[in-house]
Structure 1
């Protein structure tokens, strides 16, 4: 086994984006103009972002730096005996693989139209597929062609330090022994798979390209599990907090988490049908029969993820009902206290009202101890009513 890793046509990171060649520009522009006129679609469509948090200044600066940076694809060429990892300044520099070799082209950044045009021209990728790759708010979907598969999924993963949830689009283009992945930004999500290729661990190097595709998808589903583990911690904290204190901040937290669960389900649930389609032999011949059993296991994991999301949604809905019940009970306690006070003062107000009338013929007004007798009667009535309320367990 041998493995080599070096940089082909290396350049510095400060290199600005190079202008696309005239041939590539004409190829991609003419095709997209015709197709967009037919389908009335453009890559500048603005959709509601599933990530509600506004980007920070650091994220904005990183995005601006990414725009001016030339995308340099990373390619893995491997078979059972050897593997090679290279960075290339041009798609044309990637060598043609042999019959028993597999090629994985990993592209980080979908802003460089020259690179996308070169990929489209070399691997005969339809221009509308390139548009879907450029559109970051594309829905989760699978397109089946005669000799290729195109899959768009959402990568949902937590930051290991801040535990902040990130949502990113990843596109897969799969054909004979060739897999091309498109990511929005660089991350280490697939480092475990890359190390397997470098060190010939697991089944990746001994299998066709479809097993690599499965391994990447399995990693994405594992990240879904990590996100749900964080959500589980938040759900337990809310459950504990509801029993301790009743605050509006808790209700806002419940609604935010419930909205997150709704977004996760909308992004993840289409994968069940997609994986189910990939298991069918009539869909495509790219997926080998030996990989179908792994896709079934992946399908089970996705079902587990969606079931867990549904469970959390039901728990959060019950938390909202429980919050409303506690709030209503607290209001009922206030009303009950005020009602008891009002009930006590009704007979006292009646007595005071009688002796507050200005009639001349009221014998009690001329008694020596009439004032103290009335006060004693009022206190006795109050004690009797409190004792009766206590026996009724009204307080």
Structure 2
């Protein structure tokens, strides 16, 4: 669907927004503004990564915005992000995306209210709005990280944590990758005709990049802690089992000796032979117990 959100008589520039693009709309717009066919193909690829390409009369930008998909196991580019293709020139902007987005509607209202004085100003606002879609997901990732940290350290019953942390790591790493690939876009916008607004966009980009870098690093640390805690719990279990086996080793030895079917054995015919052997076994158990306590193993 093609919409004209700004026109030259009212805004001194044109803004054409196309969502759920049709072949006729795309090529009619390309012919009107002289857009390259290969760039049109890039704008229609659903999994294309962020890029900035300067042509002779306009610039072509692909930016990926974060989706509202809160599925735990969403970890691919298409599941976590949507693509917005932007053709930018001094007198026009063309945006192409597959689904309608609220941020486009908000920016369209701002243009109608006269809050965008040029296409450069509008472009900066579009990029800033796209960056803002990564803000709330970072908070969600931070809360999830706190949950898994609590589960690892404070809960004795193991939940299926490893799978959840794997998808958490995938999400953080994927967003980091999208932000890293978007650096050229932010840098070019701020360097071309930079002002307070573009520097604010760069500051937001740097802040989000630092947040996701920290999240990714913390998730990696948490995974290492998870494996260390799991290994520690396994070691504790093995230690307890080893202690019990040490208690029973001498008792099993004594019982094994007296379990042999020989007629001539010490104390075999003694009236108090059985309680004496039991007493010796109790004494041995107590000696092992106190020895372990003295060594600090219990």
TM-score for the superposition, normalised by structure 2: 0.90
Give secondary structure in 2 for the equivalent of 1:362.
coil
Inter-CA distance 122–363: structure 2 relative to 1 (3 Å threshold): closer
Structure 2 match to 1:276 = 187
Structure 2 match to 1:118 = 28
**In 2, are the aligned partners of 1:271 and 1:302 still within 8 Å (CA)?**
no
Structure 2 match to 1:54 = none
Structure 2 match to 1:144 = 54
- Is 1:300 equivalent to 2:210 in the alignment? no
**In 1, are the aligned partners of 2:49 and 2:181 still within 8 Å (CA)?**
no
Unaligned runs of 5+ in 1: 1-70, 79-96, 282-288
Give secondary structure in 2 for the equivalent of 1:190.
helix
**In 1, are the aligned partners of 2:85 and 2:97 still within 8 Å (CA)?**
yes
Residue 301 of structure 1: how far off its partner (Å) = 1.4
Structure 1 match to 2:151 = 241
Structure 1 match to 2:252 = 349
Cα distance in 1 for residues equivalent to 2:132 and 2:191:
24
- Is 1:104 equivalent to 2:33 in the alignment? no
How much is the aligned-residue C-alpha RMSD, in angstroms? Answer: 2.4
Inter-CA distance 369–99: structure 2 relative to 1 (3 Å threshold): closer
Cα distance in 2 for residues equivalent to 1:361 and 1:99:
117
Aligned length: 292
Give secondary structure in 2 for the equivalent of 1:269.
helix
Q: Which is further off, 303-312 or 348-357?
A: 348-357
Structure 2 match to 1:251 = 162
Cα distance in 1 for residues equivalent to 2:211 and 2:111:
32
Residue 178 of structure 1: how far off its partner (Å) = 0.7
Structure 2 match to 1:190 = 104
Equivalent runs, 1:1-395 vs 2, <5 Å: 71=1, 73-77=2-6, 97=8, 101-110=12-21, 112-158=22-68, 166-200=80-114, 203-204=115-116, 207-243=117-153, 244-245=155-156, 247=158, 249-281=160-192, 289=193, 291-395=194-298
Inter-CA distance 125–353: structure 2 relative to 1 (3 Å threshold): same
Cα distance in 1 for residues equivalent to 2:125 and 2:274:
93
Residue 393 of structure 1: how far off its partner (Å) = 2.8
Give secondary structure in 1 for the equivalent of 2:268.
helix
Inter-CA distance 277–246: structure 2 relative to 1 (3 Å threshold): farther
Residue 176 of structure 1: how far off its partner (Å) = 2.1
Unaligned runs of 5+ in 2: none
Inter-CA distance 223–377: structure 2 relative to 1 (3 Å threshold): same
Give secondary structure in 2 for the equivalent of 1:76.
strand
Cα distance in 2 for residues equivalent to 1:166 and 1:177:
33
**In 1, are the aligned partners of 2:124 and 2:189 still within 8 Å (CA)?**
no
Structure 2 match to 1:52 = none
Residues 280-305 of structure 1 deviation map (CA, whole Å, 9 limit, x = unaligned): 34xxxxxxx3x444222212211221
Residue 319 of structure 1: how far off its partner (Å) = 1.3
